[in-house]
């Protein structure tokens, strides 16, 4: 098995050297299939399990996958410098909070609406860079942020604007709560990306090391919360096991591929590839999960993607 893994790695490395940009784009696009499959598994578990229960098992199984990967590739998983250890710990905490918010969003909304909300992180990154890094916030960026905000309103469909004629009170409430969790999760993703940028480029930490801290810390604090949740006791079933193993595997592979893409090509080319996930999520809702897709969701998604891509470019 290890020989096969090494052989595949060498073959991919050869293709990467021959055409770096093409392989980066391929990695980025393929990663979106894995991320969409992960979100599909989360959607299939909603109603039966809480987002914390799903995140906890996802982090435990992800930790196992990542440990095996680090062992095969001889990647160190412990930071010797205290400053690096602190940043990795913060990255782990923020990563766990991001995953919890994202999965909660997906248990409240359809996959397509949830994915659109989660992919608003370029908006947050732009404002965070302005406040914390002192980067210039251009009028163009503000204009595209406004376009994205209009898209967010269309997807969230607040009852005060759209009324409750099409949705029940509970559905409208879930849509609004899902929007809040999606946006907060997106904010945490932006904070994680800033920390990862420093860890990768300044401190030269391997991406697998980042994920090891993320999995371990997130598994620990979600386990504490799950054990203290007396209202929703955890019931272990075969369905929960295989769907969690599948979503953990898909998330792990997707993360490896997108990380590899960013090491091969600049962010301005790779970042827009994540919006392929939006298209996949709508197709998933329509043809696999058989969910009704609102026209406002499609229009809102288009505006959010337009605004986010405009900010990135």
Q: Quote the pLDDT of residue 195.
A: 82
Q: Quote the pLDDT of residue 270.
A: 78
Q: Quote the pLDDT of residue 189.
A: 87
Q: Are the CB atoms for 282 and 36 separated by under 8 Å?
A: no
CA atoms within 13 A on the CB side of 239: 9
Tens-binned pLDDT, residue by residue, of the chain (313 aa): 556 556 666 677 767 777 888 888 899 899 999 999 999 999 999 888 889 999 999 999 999 999 998 988 888 888 878 888 898 999 899 999 999 999 999 999 999 999 999 888 877 877 777 776 666 777 888 888 888 888 888 888 776 566 655 556 677 778 889 999 999 999 998 888 778 777 776 777 877 888 899 999 999 989 988 888 767 777 888 899 999 999 999 999 998 888 888 778 776 677 778 888 999 999 999 988 888 888 888 999 999 888 887 876 6
């Amino acid at each position: 098995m290890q020989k096969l893994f090494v052989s595949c790695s060498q073959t991919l490395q050869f293709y990467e050297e021959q055409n770096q940009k093409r392989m980066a784009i391929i990695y980025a696009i393929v990663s979106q299939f894995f991320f969409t499959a992960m979100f599909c598994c989360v959607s299939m578990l909603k109603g039966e399990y809480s987002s914390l229960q799903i995140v906890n098992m996802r982090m435990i199984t992800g930790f196992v996958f990542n440990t095996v990967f680090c062992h095969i590739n001889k990647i160190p998983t412990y930071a010797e410098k205290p400053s690096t250890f602190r940043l990795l710990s913060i990255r782990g905490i923020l990563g766990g909070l991001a995953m919890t918010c994202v999965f909660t969003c997906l248990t409240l909304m359809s996959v397509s609406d949830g994915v659109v909300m989660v992919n608003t992180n370029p908006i947050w990154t732009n404002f965070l860079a302005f406040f914390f890094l002192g980067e210039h916030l251009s009028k163009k960026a503000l204009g595209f942020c406004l376009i994205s905000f209009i898209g967010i309103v269309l997807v969230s469909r607040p009852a005060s604007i759209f009324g409750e004629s099409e949705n029940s009170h509970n559905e409208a409430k879930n849509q609004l709560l899902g929007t809040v969790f999606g946006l907060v999760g997106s904010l945490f993703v932006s904070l994680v990306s800033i920390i990862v940028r420093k860890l990768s480029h300044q401190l030269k930490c391997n991406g697998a090391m980042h994920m090891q801290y993320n999995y371990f810390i997130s598994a620990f604090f979600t386990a504490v919360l799950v054990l203290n949740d007396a209202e929703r006791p955890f019931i272990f079933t075969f369905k929960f096991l295989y769907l969690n193993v599948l979503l953990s595997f898909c998330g792990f592979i997707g993360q490896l591929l997108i990380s590899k893409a960013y090491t091969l090509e600049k962010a301005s080319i790779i970042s827009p590839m994540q919006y392929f996930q939006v298209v996949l999520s709508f197709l998933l809702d329509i043809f696999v999960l058989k969910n009704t897709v609102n026209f406002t969701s499609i229009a809102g998604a288009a505006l959010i993607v337009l605004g986010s891509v405009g900010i990135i470019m």
